[in-house]
Amino acid sequence: MKIAVFGNMDIEADSGVEVRRFEITSFYPNEKIDGLYYRIFVSNCIPELPREAVMDFLKKAHDALEVNGEIIVQVPMAEFAAKQLFTNKADPITYYMLYGTDEHPFRACYTMLQMRTLLARAKFNVKEATEAILKLTTTDGEELNLPVHNLVAVRND
């Protein structure tokens, strides 16, 4: 079994499970060379893609999954960031959710409805769509809680 990981996240795999890490901007799966993946994790990196590249990435991810394989997507909550701005409660995490960092700038922010729609258009069946907290650690060692949309979708052709 193989798992693909996009984004800086820790994955503890069982023995016999191969974990491969990729940059979201340079994912070119080849089924004949690499085989198919059982699960794909995409954590906090879809906003780095230009809008016109998101569907292309999701279609590649769909085709790189085994039938009944899962994609787990986490993106910062656009709704939360907007609420923080409109209520004058914006803090550094709010601006991170909207703009990313100098090294990883965000080009878009997504609502839950947008993510569900994008996954459905890429022929995934969304089986879970929840809100979660992603724990980030800064270079100074500070822990931050990032509100994210957490979606689990399945490829069942």
Task: Report how many domains make up the chain.
Answer: 1
Helix/strand/coil percentages in the chain, nearest 5: 30, 35, 30
Structural domain including 148 reads 2-154
Of 70, 77, 155, 136, whose CA–CA distance to 110 is shortest? 77
Of 64, 63, 97, 103, whose CA–CA distance to 82 is shortest? 97
pTM: 0.91
Mean pLDDT, the chain, as a whole number?
93
Helices 92-99 and 78-86 pack at an angle, to 10 degrees, of 130
In the sheet with 65-76, reading across from the earlier edge strand, the strands are 18-22, 2-6, 37-43, 65-76, 143-154, 125-137
* Whole-number pLDDT of residue 142: 87
- pLDDT tens digits, one per residue of 68-126: 999 999 999 999 999 999 999 999 999 999 999 999 999 999 999 999 999 999 999 99
Determine the Cα–Cα distance for residues 114 and 84; give it in Å rounded to an integer.
20
CATH number at residue 43: 3.40.50.150
